[in-house]
Amino acid sequence: MSMNNSVAAALALTTALWSGAALAADPASCATVRFADVGWTDIQVTTGATQVVLEALGYTPTVTTLSVPVTYASLKSGDIDVFLGNWMPSMTADIAPYTEDKSVETIATNLEGAGYGLVVPQYVADAGVKTLTDLGAKKDRFGGKIYGIESGNDGNRIISEMIADPANKLDGFELVESSEAGMLTEAERAIKNNDWIIFLGWTPHPIMGAMPIHYLDGMGDSGFGAATVHTNVRAGYTTECPNVGKLLTNLKFNLEMEGAMMEPVLTSGADPKATALDWLKAHPDTVKPWLDGVTTLDGGDAAAAVSAALGG
């Protein structure tokens, strides 16, 4: 073989090798993407929307419902890959040990403009209860109860710390732990009867958004107040699975989108993933920026694959 032919053959082989590598966006070990879901409706629908996209790209997402503490322990142990529900700053204490030992990474902010904290009905605020320290003098009107959600939730932890702090004048109050649905049932019943109630509120939320409620002031550095929601992954995940990592980094939601997807789940018990699919079919352009720099699992056209899955 001549020198020119040898060089040409080498170049052809190199090109073929590079082309072959380009066809495999992620290794086979990345085909299954393991999500944690802590049972909050907003995280259920955002995780559902991400599942829809990943399935269109050829991946197999799985979702396990876990408490917040178990979610972070599972990310550290490598049993979970992704968590889309890191509400900050309220979860600072929950995630801190894992960011300090670098076992959990924050790769993106997926929602801005959120809110989180203790709320009372507007008629209670109009009666003069507008800050945290106003509650103590009206303990009997509230039955000495503050309603939270499931055990292990960061909001419940913050409420417990507030009750224990003498400066907040909440002596005699108790935290009532429940599910999101159970707490909302109590809140709706109280508001219907014009009763006084304190409960954990957040935005986005279609039901709370329709309620006449007031966020209490005086939260200090508790973590309640304006919030952003971050995407967490186990350490090294985006290096191992760069294509999924790119999608996760690109994911951005907004209050209107999440509220619209949450509403049928909360009002009629609709499946979060099915609801997310219906919303994405009606708003296909939402997905386009998520797919920037992303391919299918086998290196194909991501936009075409997702468009086909959404009926485009």
Segment 153-173, tens digit of pLDDT: 899 999 999 999 999 999 999
Band (248; pLDDT cuts 50, 70, 90): very high
Contacts of 89 by beta carbon, 8 Å cutoff, 6+ apart: 223, 225, 227
3-state secondary structure of 63: strand
Whether pLDDT at 23 is above 80: no
Give the start-to-end residue ranges of the domains of the chain.
Answer: 28-112+227-309, 115-226
pLDDT reported for residue 24? 55
Band (41; pLDDT cuts 50, 70, 90): very high
- Per the listing, tokens 């710390």 go with 161
Rounded (10°) angle between helices 92-100 and 68-77: 10
The pTM of the full predicted model, rounded to 2 decimals, is: 0.82
Rg (C-alpha) for the chain, rounded Å, is 24
Handedness of CA 70, 76, 77, 83 (dihedral sign): positive
- What is 115-226's CATH number? 3.40.190.100
What is the rounded CA–CA span in Å between residue 257 and residue 51?
Answer: 16
Segment 203-235, tens digit of pLDDT: 889 888 888 999 999 988 888 988 999 999 999
Whether pLDDT at 27 is above 90: yes
When pLDDT is averaged across residues 264-276 and rounded to a whole number, the result is 95
Query: Which CATH homologous superfamily contains domain 28-112+227-309?
Result: Periplasmic binding protein-like II (3.40.190.10)
| C-alpha distance from residue 105 to each of 76, 210, 249 (Å) | 10, 35, 12
Please give the DSSP secondary-structure letter assigned to residue 152.
Answer: T
Whether 28-112+227-309 and 115-226 share one fold: the answer is yes
